[in-house]
Structure 1
Amino acid sequence: MSAAASQKRLLLVREAVAAFQAGDIATAETLFRKAAADIGGKRNDDPRIPYNYAVFLRRTGRPQDAVYWLDRCLRMAPDHTNASIEKGLALIELGQAQPAIDLLTAFPGDADALRGLSIAAFKLGQWDRALGAVTALPMPQAEDRLLAIRALAELGRLSEAEADGADLAASHPTLKADIAKALTRRSKGRFSLHEPA
């Protein structure tokens, strides 16, 4: 691809990203498709084009299409960390938790990878792994903390789960019902004998 053609495609990608951020999905889609036309997936192509298109596709609810473009990006740039992480997140959305875990464990210092890893492990009932990923997050969000509470409960560490639940409820009172569910749902259908007040 010539330098001029590459620059033209990157300009289209920038315009597509701006349209997406402005909420104009149709324009973003058109611009991304234009930019991605004739991308061959060769190492001399620019990986930013399929990567950005894939992110757009995943965030607009098309994870299967996103995986296709992420694979093309990774053929161009096999060490593209963000593309690998995005692919792991798309695989989770496709219900492929184990392949997602296999991919995301390669990025133990990335918050998005850790968050995805915790979700995938949660879906498979791998409570230790889910808890480990959440505790490795530098700034866990309320949803991450709920997942950790559930993992602690599943691991039989109820006093820790209840203490974390009380702490989360104090800072996020609207989550009390979700915290109660996290404390009482058990993987084998059992419920805690100690119901939170």
Structure 2
Amino acid sequence: QAVSASRGRAEGELVSSLVLRSMKRAVYREKNCGHYGLASATYCHFTSPIRRYPDLMVHRMLKAELFGRPEKFDQMTTNLGWICEHSSGMEREADDAQRESEELKLAEYLQRFVGQSFSAIVSGVSQGGLYARLENTAEGFIPVRTLGDDYFSFDAARYTLTGEETGARYRLGQRIAVVLFAVDPRVPQINLRLAQGSRR
């Protein structure tokens, strides 16, 4: 419902991303547990465009069964629990490595645009400031001390920062204009500031 309600709105892409992040990560198991996303009671990897190791295991087990090699089949079945656990762990490591490499390359790319303005959407709110996501998916941080000469109170339930004197309010999903202040690809870290006229 949240994805449908946000479709076509400024925060639609952010809502979709947050819903995906909140979903439980899939794991490989030796017993059939079906597939929740496909609403299928029976499911296993068989062919994948990226040729995961679990796909190859299914191929090997089918070949052993079809071509009458029970000892090979039994050997793979005995090790299946460990293989599932190891494959799930390696997939998580691969996902982490992919995310880190993307962040690094985005930071390297953005170095040439320091000082320029961008449209962004508030992707996170904390006591320390705002996280803002640019249209190219790079995410940067806006420290609360740069939001203006005001005390900003953090509402953890509503994900907002509100200035006590000015009433300026920043919320999750809000569209803002930002300036790329500094980039450090070694971390990688992207620092942003609100552009003039973006304070509310």
Confirm or deny a common fold (TM above 0.5). no
Higher helix share: 1
Which TM class, normalised by the smaller chain length? Answer: under 0.3
- The structure whose RCO (Cα within 8 Å, separation 6+) is larger is 2
TM-score, with structure 2 as normaliser: 0.23
Higher strand share: 2
